Structures are given as structure tokens and as C-alpha cells.
Amino acid sequence: MTVWDRPEPRNAPVPLDREQIIAAAIALADEGGLEAVSLRKVAARLNAGPMRLYGYISTKDELFDLMVDEVHAEILPAEQPGDWREALRVLAHRTRQAALRHVWLADLLGGRPTLGPNGMAVTEAKLAALDGLADIDTTLRAAETVSSYLIGAIRREIANLRAERATGLSKREWQRASGPHLTKMLATGRFPTLTKVVHHSRETNAEESFATGLDWVLDAVAAKLTPPSA
Amino acid sequence: MTVWDRPEPRNAPVPLDREQIIAAAIALADEGGLEAVSLRKVAARLNAGPMRLYGYISTKDELFDLMVDEVHAEILPAEQPGDWREALRVLAHRTRQAALRHVWLADLLGGRPTLGPNGMAVTEAKLAALDGLADIDTTLRAAETVSSYLIGAIRREIANLRAERATGLSKREWQRASGPHLTKMLATGRFPTLTKVVHHSRETNAEESFATGLDWVLDAVAAKLTPPSA
DNA sequence: TCTCATGGCGAGACACTGTATCGCCGCCGT
DNA sequence: ACGGCGGCGATACAGTGTCTCGCCATGAGA
């Protein structure tokens, strides 16, 4: 065996730490979705063998948790508005934007408790915005209600976005032209209200829908924070 | 080769239709979660080879869609209350109960548009409950907002439930005893509000939390359906 | 400077996965 | 009784997450 066919002693012996692993995994997910993330591919991107990762990570789910936490760092704004409502609104919109940048986030959001440092910082920010405006239980319920709406709305939006992308058409076009199944379903007459809505509703802008629903939920929260009797 | 070692001409030649496949898949998922559902195992449960399923199903994701739609059949109540608010409340609670019966539903809810007949029937029911109480766009927005809360709240609840089950303790116990990570995190002092909430909030009942948040959202919807000016 | 022990690393193995291909075999029509 | 057809499953393939184990490069000690 000559020097030439002997493998290099190490392929770019990058020191390799968690951050790099997470970054590589996120890059992979951004490009090809969550299912494109395999430990082998993440390792390959770092010029390492698959088993090397297990020094920094103990399971694939743990890697997903770390990815989610990393994105939560993007979500937390530099500075928070003093107004609780504005603070929650900003947090919500930043979460949505992060999900649009990293569509795979929708698959993970709400799937596990967020115990990472950044995720907890976001939770803290939500609670802090509401702190002192009502008793603790109401504060907690308010934060949870807003978060629930957030998770559901983002998931729905991304799900629709993917469906549209799959057919490559706008929503309106999609349901009319490329959705023969839906058309047939509606034609059965078993869904009169749905049919009416589909045909007569305005062309919807996703961001506007999100913002409107969010405002409604915030209205509801506001009503509970400042009880009408007080 | 004798008769004895020759395989039976067919292992219980069950005619096999979609319903059975879906039922088998749901049973598997109920027992071992979504990841316990593999085409091989589903087929085995029906005394069939894996490839047999492809006559009724074209991909695994499609099977998941069918499972979700099947559960939506459990969700639709026999009869709907006339009161829109009560109708939506019943629908929401039935969805939650279905998710508690089939925890894997939380992983799928909101992940793809619901285009199955039962899923669409549920959507129809939601819209029908709100029909005529406002213009079409408001109706749609209301239904979507409630659905978003529903998806997020269920996902969060199931995520927590799984985390608790993993440690085998009650929520309170969990965060106090078995969550050394969390304890350490809170001890850093970077999450003052969260810490306060964790220590001072009431022991929470999941169903009550869900119901309360739902009521808030329904309040918000009610306010939009009957504008204060009218 | 030479040697030895240590431990990080990766090759390989294992038990699976979803899905495509293809040839057998039982059944139905003639 | 025979022939052709078609549904079915064995087999194959490219992948997956994770475990085990032995190599080899690096450090310490003589």
C-alpha cells in the first residue's frame, strides 16, 4: 500500500461540537425536510462517521429537541415592548416567521415539552409580559391559550402551504382545478356550508388570517386579565 | 415435500378491505404508538404479506391519512345542539377525548389538510354551527381559530402527558423531583416569572385547563359574531 | 527517543423500515 | 380438462437508528 491509497489520517479533523451538529442538521432539514435528516447524513456533512455524533447526542429525538431549541433562539426578540399585548404579538409573529424559514418546525412544534434554554426563555418572555396583570393561574392559562393557538395555527398554515406546493398552484386554483377529489366530495351535497364557504370566501392571505385569529385570542385574554367587574 | 411442510394454500384467506387494514393499523398505533405501525406489522396482523396492502393503499402516509379520517368518524356526534357555542364545545371535547383514546392522533392532527369524508364532515359541522351568524369570511375565520386552538391544546396536553408517563409521576412531582434539569434551569435565576408560576400555580387538571382556554376562545368568537355596535 | 497504555473513533453488524420487481400458483372460463 | 390470467408474496434494494468492537493515533512515562 502506497501513501496514495492510504486514507488521510483524518478527514479535516474538525473539533466538532454540539453547535455544529445542530447547525448541520438544521441545514439538512431546511433543504429536504425533517425526513432528510439522518444521523449518517449529518455526520457526513461534518466529515465524520455516524457514531461520532453519539458523543454529543444520545438519540435522534434528542437532536430534534436541540434543533427546536436552536430555532427558539431566533424567535426571542432583542428587546420586548412594554405593552403585554404587543409583546405577545411580536413573539407570535416571530415564531410564525421562524416556522416559515424552517418549515419542519411545524412538525415538531408542540410535540414535546420545550425544556431547552431558549425555549424556556421564550416561555419566560410570554409569562413575563403577562406578569402582574392578573393572578398567577390566570396568567398561566392566558399564556397557554395563546401558545395553543400559535401551535395550531402554524401547523395548519404549513400543512396547507405544503399541499399547495405539491400541486404547484395557488389555493384558489388548487381547490378548483387540481382537487378533483375535493370537487367530487363537495358535489355530493353532504357539505353544503363548506361548499358555500369554499366558493364565496375572499381569497385569503395567510399572514392576515393568522394575525386576525391571533388578535381575537388576544382580545379574549385581555377580557380575562381586566375583569369587567373591576 | 410432504403435505405437512407444505404451507397452507392460504393463511385464512380473509377477503381484506380498506376498513380492516385501517382497523389493524389503528390497533397497532393504540398499543405502541405511531412508530409501531409498519406496513409489515399491519399486514402480518391480517395474515397477509406486506405487498398485499399496496392494492388498497399507495403509500404509508396515505394509511396515516385514512387512520385520522377513521378517528374523525368517532368525533362527529350523533346529533348537534342547536346552540352554536354548545355545538363547537361538544365537537372540541369529542376531539380531545378521541385524542386521549388514540394518543397518536396528536402527532398527526393538523399535519395535513383533512380531506377525508369524515374529516370534512367535522369541518362541515363546525361551519354549519356558525352559519348565518356572520358574513362568510368571519365564519371561516371563527372556525379556523377554534380549530387552531384545538390542535395546539391537544398537542400540548398529549406532549405533557407523555412526558409525565415517561417519568411515571404526577406533574407536580415530576417537575420537583424527577426534573433535575428543570430545577437547575430555574435555579439560574434567568426565568423568574416561570419559576414563580411553577411554584405558585394551582395543581392543574388537564380537562379543566382545556375547557377554560376553549371558553375564552369561544368568548372571543362570540364577540366577533355579534359586533358590539349591532 | 522509544515504548506502552488509553481512549476516541469508525467500520461493520443487526434488525428493521418503505417500496419495486417479478415469477409462481390457484382459480375461472372455456 | 385444460390454459391463461391476475393477484399475491418472496425477494431485493437502499436506506434507517443504534450497538459492539478493534484499530490507531496520540498522550505519558522511562
Instruction: Establish if B194 touches chain A: CB-CB under 8 angstroms.
Output: yes
Between residues A229 and A85, which one has the greater pLDDT? A85
Q: Total structural domains in chain B?
A: 2
Distance separating alpha carbons of residues A136 and B172, to the nearest angstrom: 16
Residue for cell digits 439522518? A38
Distance separating alpha carbons of residues A150 and A144, to the nearest angstrom: 10
Contact B151 A156 (CB under 8 A): yes
Confidence of residue A7 (pLDDT cuts 50, 70, 90): very low
B107 exposure class (CB count in 10 Å sphere: 0-12, 13-18, 19+)? buried
- Model confidence over A91-147: pLDDT tens digits? 999 999 999 999 999 999 999 999 999 999 999 999 999 999 999 999 999 999 999
Distance separating alpha carbons of residues B147 and B151, to the nearest angstrom: 6
Are A29 and A105 in contact by the 8 Å Cβ rule? The answer is no
- Model confidence over B84-117: pLDDT tens digits? 999 999 999 999 999 999 999 999 999 999 999 9
* pLDDT (0 to 100) of residue A227: 66
* Chain center to CA of A188: 36
A144 exposure class (CB count in 10 Å sphere: 0-12, 13-18, 19+)? buried
Q: What is the DSSP string of A194-210?
A: HHHHHHHSPPPPHHHHH
Distance from CA of A152 to the nearest CA of B (A): 4
DSSP category for residue B51: G
Are B139 and B127 in contact by the 8 Å Cβ rule? The answer is yes
Same domain, B158 and B72: yes
Which chain B residues are closer than 8 Å to A109 by Cβ? 155
- Model confidence over A148-183: pLDDT tens digits? 999 999 999 999 999 888 776 555 555 555 567 788
Are A151 and A110 in contact by the 8 Å Cβ rule? The answer is yes
Q: Is B17 (CB) below 7 Å from strand D? A: no
Could you say which of B40, B58, B76 is where a domain stops? B58
Q: What is the ipTM of this complex?
A: 0.89
Between residues B16 and A201, which one has the greater pLDDT? A201
What is the average pLDDT score of chain A?
Answer: 88
* pLDDT (0 to 100) of residue B181: 79
Could you say which of A15, A39, A58 is where a domain stops? A58
Could you say which of A58, A76, A102 is where a domain stops? A58
User: For chain B, which ranges sit under pLDDT 70?
Assistant: 1-16, 168-179, 227-230
- Model confidence over A114-127: pLDDT tens digits? 999 999 999 999 99
Same domain, B212 and B142: yes
Same domain, A87 and A179: yes
Distance from CA of B142 to the nearest CA of A (A): 8
Instruction: Establish if A127 touches chain B: CB-CB under 8 angstroms.
Output: yes
Contact B151 A151 (CB under 8 A): yes
Distance from CA of B55 to the nearest CA of A (A): 19
Distance B2 CA to D9 C1' (A): 22
Instruction: Establish if A111 touches chain B: CB-CB under 8 angstroms.
Output: yes
Which residue segment(s) compose the domain that A50 sits in? 1-58
Residue B184 resides in a domain: no
- Model confidence over B139-164: pLDDT tens digits? 999 999 999 999 999 999 999 999 88
CATH number, domain at A7? 1.10.10.60
Closest Cβ opposite residue B216 in set A120, A192, A224: A224
A204, closest residue in chain B (CA to CA): B137
Which chain B residues are closer than 8 Å to A190 by Cβ? 117, 121, 124
Same domain, A128 and A31: no
Residues contacting nucleic strand C by the 7 Å CB criterion are A 10-11, 16, 48-52, 55; B 9-10, 37-41, 50-51, 54, 59-61
* pLDDT (0 to 100) of residue B41: 94
* pLDDT (0 to 100) of residue A3: 41
Beta-carbon contacts of B171 under 8 Å, excluding residues fewer than 6 positions away, are: B160, B164, B203, B204
Same domain, B74 and B41: no
Distance A59 CA to D17 C1' (A): 8
Phi, psi of A191 (to 5 degrees): -130, 65
Residue A28 has pLDDT above 50, yes or no: yes
Residue B130 resides in a domain: yes
DSSP category for residue A79: S
Q: What cell does B55 get?
A: 392494492
* pLDDT (0 to 100) of residue B12: 43
What kind and span of H or E run contains B45? helix B39-45
Closest Cβ opposite residue B111 in set A155, A209, A224: A155
* pLDDT (0 to 100) of residue B203: 81
3-class DSSP state of B105: helix
* Chain center to CA of A96: 7
CATH number, domain at B81? 1.10.357.10
Report the C-alpha dihedral over residues A24, A27, A28, A34, rounded to 10 degrees.
Answer: 110
What kind and span of H or E run contains B204? none
* pLDDT (0 to 100) of residue A11: 43
Same domain, B91 and B47: no
Distance separating alpha carbons of residues B141 and B163, to the nearest angstrom: 33
Query: In chain A, pLDDT over 90 holds for what percent of residues?
Result: 70
Report H helices in chain A.
Answer: 18-32, 39-45, 60-75, 84-101, 105-108, 117-130, 136-167, 171-173, 180-187, 192-200, 206-225
Residue for cell digits 458523543? A55
Chain B stretch 78-107, residues whose beta carbon is closer than 8 A to a beta carbon of chain A: 106-107
